[in-house]
Amino acid sequence: MSEPTVIGYMKEQPERLKYVFENRDVFVKPFVDVFVKNKIKKVIFFGSGTSYNVSLIATYYVKHIVGIDAEAQYPTVFKNYEKADWSNTLNEDEILFVGISQSGTSVSTCEVMEYAQKAGYHTLAITGNLNSKITEFVDTKTHLLVGDELTPPETKGYTVSLLSVYLWALYAAKAIGSIDETKFEEELKATKDLVDNFETVVKESEAWYDRNNTTIVNSDRIYILGYGIDFGTAIEAQLKIGEMLRLPTLGYEIEEYSHGPTMALCKAQTIFMIGSDEAEFERMLKFNKAFKVYSDRVHIITCKDIENDSRDLVFSYKTNKYLAPLMYTVPFQFVAAKGAKDIGIDTGINPFDIPLAHYEK
SS3 assignment, position 279: coil
Q: Considering 170, 196, 222, which residue would you say is the last residue of a domain?
A: 196
Spatial separation of the C-alpha atoms in residues 99 and 276, rounded to whole Å: 27
pLDDT computed for residue 94 by the predictor: 97
Residue 358 lies in a domain: no
Give the HSE-up count for residue 41: Cα atoms under 13 Å, Cβ half-sphere: 9
Q: What is the pLDDT of residues 237-255, one digit of tens each?
A: 999 999 999 999 999 999 9
User: Are both 217 and 138 inside the same structural domain?
Assistant: no
Domain of residue 91, CATH code: 3.40.50.10490
Q: Which residue has the higher pLDDT, 361 or 130?
A: 130
User: Are both 218 and 152 inside the same structural domain?
Assistant: no
Count of all residues that appear for the chain in the document: 361
- Arithmetic mean of pLDDT over the chain: 95
User: Are both 206 and 173 inside the same structural domain?
Assistant: no
User: Are both 309 and 205 inside the same structural domain?
Assistant: yes
Residue 355 lies in a domain: no
- Average pLDDT estimate for 31-55: 97
DSSP 49-104: THHHHHHHHHHHHIIIII-SEEEEE-HHHHHHH--S-TTS-S-GGGEEEEEEESSS
Spatial separation of the C-alpha atoms in residues 201 and 171, rounded to whole Å: 25
Residue 273 lies in a domain: yes
Residue 354 has pLDDT above 90, yes or no: no
Sign of CA dihedral 244, 10, 32, 102: negative
- Give helix 324-342 / helix 156-176 axis angle, nearest 10°: 170
Geometric angle at alpha carbon 74, from 70 and 79, rounded to 5°: 95
Which band of pLDDT confidence, cut at 50, 70 and 90, is reported for residue 357?
low
Residue 298 has pLDDT above 90, yes or no: yes
Spatial separation of the C-alpha atoms in residues 274 and 257, rounded to whole Å: 13
Residue 353 lies in a domain: no
Spatial separation of the C-alpha atoms in residues 34 and 38, rounded to whole Å: 6
User: Are both 264 and 296 inside the same structural domain?
Assistant: yes
DSSP 213-241: HHHHHT-SEEEEEE-GGGHHHHHHHHHHH
User: Are both 34 and 179 inside the same structural domain?
Assistant: yes
User: Are both 283 and 149 inside the same structural domain?
Assistant: no
pLDDT computed for residue 348 by the predictor: 80
Q: How many structural domains comprise the chain?
A: 2
Range of the domain at 158: 6-196
Which band of pLDDT confidence, cut at 50, 70 and 90, is reported for residue 347?
confident
pLDDT computed for residue 202 by the predictor: 98
pLDDT computed for residue 361 by the predictor: 60
User: Are both 227 and 299 inside the same structural domain?
Assistant: yes
- Average pLDDT estimate for 206-235: 97
Q: Considering 196, 224, 252, which residue would you say is the last residue of a domain?
A: 196
Residue 205 lies in a domain: yes
Residue 1 lies in a domain: no
pLDDT computed for residue 156 by the predictor: 96
- Average pLDDT estimate for 43-66: 97
User: Are both 236 and 186 inside the same structural domain?
Assistant: no
Which band of pLDDT confidence, cut at 50, 70 and 90, is reported for residue 3?
confident
Residue 2 has pLDDT above 60, yes or no: no
pLDDT computed for residue 356 by the predictor: 66
Spatial separation of the C-alpha atoms in residues 124 and 106, rounded to whole Å: 15
User: Are both 308 and 160 inside the same structural domain?
Assistant: no
| Spatial CB neighbours of 237, under 8 Å, sequence gap ≥ 6 | 224, 249, 251, 272, 274, 329, 332, 335, 336
| Spatial CB neighbours of 215, under 8 Å, sequence gap ≥ 6 | 270, 296, 297
User: Are both 87 and 138 inside the same structural domain?
Assistant: yes
Residue 358 has pLDDT above 80, yes or no: no
Residue 141 lies in a domain: yes
User: Are both 183 and 38 inside the same structural domain?
Assistant: yes
pLDDT computed for residue 1 by the predictor: 41
Identify any residues that bridge with 120 across adjacent strands, giving them in sequence order: none
Residue 177 lies in a domain: yes
Residue 132 has pLDDT above 70, yes or no: yes
